[in-house]
Amino acid sequence: MWSILLSLLALICGIQAIRAKQLLAAALWLAGVSAAVATLLYSLGAYEVAVIELSVGAGLVTVLFVFAIAIAGEEAMSARLILPRLLPLLLVLGLLAVLAVGGRQAGVNSEMLAVSRGQLATDQDFATTHWQERGLDALVQIGLIFAGVMGVLGLLTEQAGFVGAKRNSEELGRNQENSPQLPQVPPVPLSSHSSLSSHEFSP
Amino acid sequence: MILTLSLTVVGLILIGLYGLLAVRNLFKLIITLQILVKGAVLALVIAGETSGRLQLGQSLAVTVIVADTVVAVIALALAVQLKQQSGTVDVGRLDTLKG
């Protein structure tokens, strides 16, 4: 019963996230999807993933979305679509039909799944599986987190990149226009410098 | 319960695919991508549960969550910079490289 309610909650939040006019409301609906999915994962017995999904999906990502929307601001979008309105719906319904046929085929092979479940009954704890069996994944995650930190720096640095360089050049030009004109200094010939230095440092 | 969760996975993935095809705002595109990946995470854990290797499914799901979060962060940074540079996040108007 609870799983049905949580599933409906996740689907309704997902639909509302797409239908919402305001970006901030869409981000909050996405947090609702994350919370519902985390609860479903917890009910499945995947406690570690549920905690990570709740803290990262409903917490960190939502904060980042709110921050990015606050920087960029809302934009009124026109009603013109790239694709005809019914085409995405037809494509999705076609995919649903393919999935239904595939699911029916998978239902026939449920006995094979039961046999394979008996053969693969050597499930270890999460730490052993994650750090020993999937050690390469952990290394990849470290690289990804480093890339994510760079992304956060790009998000936080408003003056970065082309915009920052453009603003700096504009400010530099404005300062040069406003600065007082300095008197022209006549150039000094190089020969006098060389003779002076050779005279000073000669033994 | 597994059937209900499987239908949820299908629903989330279909909602995400529809959003990717129909939405034009860059921020909303990232949101729909997140919905799509949440369906994939749930599918991984369900597959681990039904095959008797729940911890393996959890490990893969954690990897997907980390990758998805990093993708969202970088995409948000790019969207903010694009908004400041070109003044729009409408994918229909971003035609600077159009030949």
Q: What is the CATH number of the domain that holds B22?
A: 1.10.287.3510
Is pLDDT at A7 greater than 80 in this prediction? yes
Q: If we measure between CA atoms, which residue out of A138, A109, A18, A122 comes closest to residue B23?
A: A18
> pLDDT band at residue A31, thresholds of 50, 70 and 90?
very high
Any domain includes B46? yes
Residue B61 structural domain = 2-86
Q: If we measure between CA atoms, which residue out of A63, A57, A16, A17 comes closest to residue A37?
A: A57
Q: Count the domains in chain B.
A: 1
CB contact residues (below 8 A), chain A span 64-123, against chain B: 64-65, 68-69, 71-73, 75, 77-78, 80-83, 85, 87-89, 91-92, 95-96, 99, 103, 113, 116-118, 120-121, 123
Nearest CA in chain B to A20: B28
Identify from A44, A56, A130 which residue to disrupt to test chain B contact, counting B C-beta atoms within 10 A and taking the largest count: A44
Any domain includes B96? no
> pLDDT tens, A90-100?
777 787 777 77
Domain ranges of chain A: 1-76
Q: What average pLDDT does range A81-110 have in this prediction? A: 70
A23 touches chain B (CB under 8 A): yes
CB contact residues (below 8 A), chain B span 28-67, against chain A: 28, 30-32, 34-35, 38, 41-42, 45-46, 48-63, 65-67
C-alpha dist (Å) from residue B82 to A27, A157, A161, A163, B26: 19, 13, 10, 9, 10
Is pLDDT at A194 greater than 50 in this prediction? no
Q: Which CATH architecture has domain A1-76?
A: Up-down Bundle (1.20)
Q: What average pLDDT does range B14-39 have in this prediction? A: 90
> pLDDT tens, B28-71?
999 999 999 999 999 999 988 888 888 888 888 999 999 999 99
ipTM for the predicted complex: 0.91
A164 touches chain B (CB under 8 A): no
Outline where chain A has alpha helix (H).
2-19, 23-44, 47-52, 61-72, 86-108, 110-119, 126-128, 135-156, 161-178, 190-200
Any domain includes B99? no
Which chain B residues contact residue A40 at CB under 8 A? 5, 8, 42
Q: Do A7 and B19 touch (CB under 8 A)?
A: no
Which chain A residues contact residue B9 at CB under 8 A? none
Residue with the two structure tokens 């002076």: A196
Q: What average pLDDT does range B60-88 have in this prediction? A: 88
Identify from B8, B20, B60 which residue to disrupt to test chain A contact, counting A C-beta atoms within 10 A and taking the largest count: B8
Residue with the two structure tokens 């309105």: A85
What's the pLDDT at A197? 47
